[in-house]
Structure 1
Amino acid sequence: MLNLKARLNGKVDEDRQYMQTRVAVRERLLAQELHELEQTLRNQNQCRLTFPSTSERHEMYLTITPQEGYYRGGTFKFHISVPPEYNIVPPTVKCLTRIWHPNIAEDGAICLSILRQNSLDAFGWRPTRNLSEVGNSFSLFLFKIAMQLYFTWNFSDGILFRQNSDVYI
């Protein structure tokens, strides 16, 4: 019994050490990537990045105000959470603004290849990807290109858009 307890305590210590290492790796990556992302967004008038806490930079909000297309003039807010396993695991993103979009579910879940760890296409998450690519994908794919694609989260909205895009919006 004592041997089992010692092994379990050892496993708990290993798990704790692993998570501390992963968090340290994530924080180091975020320090580099957030600087690049903020510079990229500064050059765009349509995106703004904010943080609810200065000490927890792995939680952030991205606000997009498209300058063209069907959603021009709207303001859409996304919550981005970077898990401890980042860059092996993609960030999780949820749309906080209610929107009728074929790639965004009613609960805010987003259908975007770059956010999927196991994607059938070549555009899924890879450890070489970064937050700047995620930010660019949002403004590009969700508000420009994705409206023309056939891969949608909300299948009925995708069909409606493809059949009569004038009525969609």
Structure 2
Amino acid sequence: MRNKMPKIIAIAAVLGGGKTTITSCLTQVLNNAKTLYFDEYDLEGPDDVVNWVERGADCNEWNLEPLISDLRNLISSEDTEFILLDYPFARLHDKLKNIDLTIFIDTPLDIAMARRILRDYSNKNAEAILDDLSLYLPGGRSGYESMLKTIKPNSDLIIDGLLPTEEIVNIICDRIKS
């Protein structure tokens, strides 16, 4: 019989903020860690994300049942000590309040945008980059700013996203141990 429940750790950041990199590194460092990535799910959410942000970005408008189902399965798994969630909402979704530690990687928006362009457009032409930027300026940026106003202040640990990956991972590991 299992002695204790796994610790659930959620890592958030704006797009390009480093959450997937940090989550992947933590999976390698922590013993018996399993990971769920929000972006790997085809979740039902608002059709118009810009409008959703303008209306207050209520996280409960997202149907997280597939993610929650996988989370329940991991919680009941005998060999899991940590469950890492690459997940944007901290504890703001009513069905995911049982997170033990929420982390926000605070990456400047210009750095996050540069990372996104390098990551997502390395094999595309300049027109694709310009199309993305033309969407970012009138509406997409407000989504980034919304995270800074809602997710960041509702996180247990805020880490400077300009720190080297190894240092960020060490800070998180130190917090987990304390």
Q: With structure 2 as the length reference, what TM-score do the two structures score?
A: 0.25
Higher relative contact order (CA 8 A, sep 6+): 2
* More helix per residue: 2
Q: Rg: which structure is higher?
A: 1
